[in-house]
Amino acid sequence: MDAADVGDDLVEVLFTEAQIQTRIAEMAAEISRDYEGKDLVLVGVLRGAVMVMADLSRALDKHVEMDWMAVSSYGSGTKSSGVVRILKDLDADISGRHVLIVDEIIDTGLTLSWLTSNLGSRGPASVEIATLLRKPEALQMPVKAKYVGWDIPNEFVVGYGLDYRETYRNLRDIGTLSPSVYS
C-alpha cells in the first residue's frame, strides 16, 4: 500500500519507500563495519520494527542472529502511558554477545530506556540502538541511539511499521497522520 491508497489520511509524506530503503542500506553499511568480526544479535521490538528489522537484516553483509521482544507503553492511544510491560521476552541468551536493539521510532524514550537497561542487566558484551526515526522534541528520558535514520518533528507518523490502532503498518511510505483520523 502506498500514500495514494490512503487518500486524505496523511497530511504529508515525510519519506518515500525509495528514501527509506536508501537510508536503511546506509545504516546497514555502518553496522556491518562497526560489528565486523563480532557476534551480533539483532533484537527487534515488536510490532513496529518488523519492517525495519527485515530490511536492515537483509542489507547487512554479515551473519546475524535475530530475536524479538514485545514491550508496550502505548495501549491503543497516540501517547505513551509511561508504564512498560513485557509482552514477549527474548528466546536467546545474550550474555557475552553484542546486542543491537532495532526499533522503528524513538518517541518519549521511556520504552527504549527501560529496554536498554533490562537487556544490559543480562550480561551482554554491549547494547546499542538502531532506529529509523527519532523525535528529539518528544524525549522524556535520555536515550543514546548509535544509528538513527532521521530526526523528525513531534508529530504522529504512520507507515513502514508505524501504526494507528494497528492500521497503516503496511504503508510503504512514512507520513504524518491527519488529526482528523485520530481526534
pTM, 2 dp:
0.93
Cα separation, 88 vs 49, in Å, equals 14
Say what the pLDDT of residue 77 is: 53
Task: Spell out the residues 6+ positions from residue 19 whose beta carbon is closer than 8 angstroms to its own.
Answer: none
DSSP 75-132: TTSSS--S--EEEE--SS--TTSEEEEEEEEESSSHHHHHHHHHHHTT--SEEEEEEE
Percentage of the chain beyond pLDDT 90 is: 87
Rg of the chain, C-alpha, whole Å: 16
Task: Categorize the per-residue pLDDT at 75 as very low, low, confident or very high, splitting at 50, 70 and 90.
Answer: low
Say what the pLDDT of residue 80 is: 56
Residue the block writes with cell 523525535? 135
Q: Render pLDDT for 123-142 as a digit per residue (tens, 0 to 9).
A: 999 999 999 999 999 999 88
Q: Is 8 a catalytic residue?
A: no
Considering 9, 55, 103, 107, which one is annotated as catalytic? 107
Beta carbons of 138 and 112 less than 8 angstroms apart:
no
- Report all structural domains of the chain as residue ranges with CATH numbers, in order of start: 17-154 (3.40.50.2020)
Q: 177: which strand partners? A: 10
Strands of the sheet with 126-134, listed across from one edge: 85-88, 65-72, 40-46, 98-106, 126-134, 147-151
Beta carbons of 100 and 118 less than 8 angstroms apart:
no
Which DSSP state fits 159?
A: B
Beta carbons of 15 and 150 less than 8 angstroms apart:
yes
